[in-house]
Chains A and B, each alone.
Chain A
Amino acid sequence: VNLWVLVLATAGGCYALKFAGYLVPARLLDAPQVRRLVELLPVALLAALVVVETVASGRHLEWDVPRLAGFGAGAVAVWRRAPFLAVVVIAGVVAAAVRQI
C-alpha cells in the first residue's frame, strides 16, 4: 500500500510541478534579468549533472574507465557536430566496448 501512495503521489506531484510552469505570467518571464538567468541555469545544471553522472558514486569520486571513455567519445562527437542519435550511439558503443576488454 505504501508503494502505491508513493507512485500516485509522485505522478500527481510531477504533473502539478510541470503545470505550475505554465501559470507563471509571461510578463515576468520576459524581464531581461529573468531571461538571462534562465538562459544560463540549464547550462550550469546540465554541466554539473554530466560531471556527477560521470564520476560520482554516492559521495565518492569513481574514475570508471569505460564510462569516461564513453563520455570522451560522446564529447568528441558533439564537438564534431555529429547528429544527436549518432552521439548517443557512439558514446554507448564505446563505453560497452571498453567494458568488455
Chain B
Amino acid sequence: VLEESRRAVVRDSLGVGLAVGAYGVAFGAASVAAGLSVLQTGLLSLRAFTGGTQFAVVGVVSGGGTLATALGGGLQRFVAAQGTIDESTAMAVARRDPAHARVAFWWTFTAIYVCWNATTLAGAVGARALGDPAKFGLDAVVPRGRVNLRIAAGAALVALALIPVTPPGVPVLAAAAAVLLAGRLR
C-alpha cells in the first residue's frame, strides 16, 4: 500500500514538472526577445530557478519545521535550497507523511529542473519560430491547490480593486496583507 501511494506521489510530481516545463519555452523566447543571449537565458534558468521568488520564501516558511526536518541538514540543505520553489514546496507540504513529503519534494524539483531548463533552451533557440505564447494558451495556465475559499475570494477582490490604481506588483502584496489583517482582527 505504501509503495502504491509512493508511486502516486512520483506520478503527481512528474506531472507538475511537465506542466511547469511548458512555461520554459515562453520564458526562453521572451528572454531572448528582451535582449539577453541564449547563454545568459540558460544561466538564469539553471542558477536562479525561481517560480516567483516571493512565494518560495513563503513556501519554505509555510513548510515550517516539517519541510526543513524532512529535508535534513548538512550538505543536502544546500541542494534543497536551490530546489525550493513554489511547486516543490507545495507538493511536499501537502503530504502528511514525512517520507512522502521527501519523495514529492525531490521528484518535483528534479522533474521541473530538467523540463524547465530543456524548454528554456528550446524557447531561447527557437524564439523566432515560436511567436506569441498566447497562441498556445500558455497564458491561461492556472495554479491549483486546496484553498480556504473565503481567504482566496477576499484576496481576489482586493487585488481586482487595486489593479487600476496601483503600480504592477502592489495589488498582489496588498491583497495578501489586507486579507491576513482581516483574519487577525476577526
A residues apposed to B, CB below 8 Å: 3-4, 7, 10-11, 14-15, 17-22, 24, 26, 29-30, 34-35, 37-56, 58-61, 66-67, 69-71, 74-75, 78, 83-85, 87-89, 91-97, 99
Contacts and interface: CB of A to CB of B under 8 A. Distances in A.
A41 to B, nearest CB: 5
29 contacts: A11-B47, A11-B48, A14-B48, A15-B48, A21-B60, A22-B77, A35-B64, A40-B151, A41-B180, A44-B176, A46-B143, A46-B145, A47-B156, A48-B158, A52-B172, A59-B164, A60-B164, A67-B140, A70-B140, A74-B141, A74-B142, A75-B142, A78-B144, A84-B12, A91-B141, A92-B141, A94-B140, A99-B134, A99-B135
Interface of B: 12, 15-16, 18-19, 22, 35-37, 40, 43-44, 47-50, 52-62, 64-65, 68-69, 77-78, 80-82, 84-85, 90, 134-145, 147-148, 151-156, 158-160, 163-168, 171-173, 175-176, 179-180, 183
A55 B159 CA distance: 10
A59 B163 contact: yes
Give 9 nearest A-B pairs by CB, closest first.
A70-B140, A21-B60, A95-B140, A96-B137, A11-B47, A48-B175, A92-B137, A47-B152, A95-B137
A94 to B, nearest CB: 7
A18 B64 contact: no
Given A18-B81, A99-B137, A47 B48 contact: no
B53 to A, nearest CB: 6
> Could you tell me the dominant secondary structure of chain A's interface residues?
helix
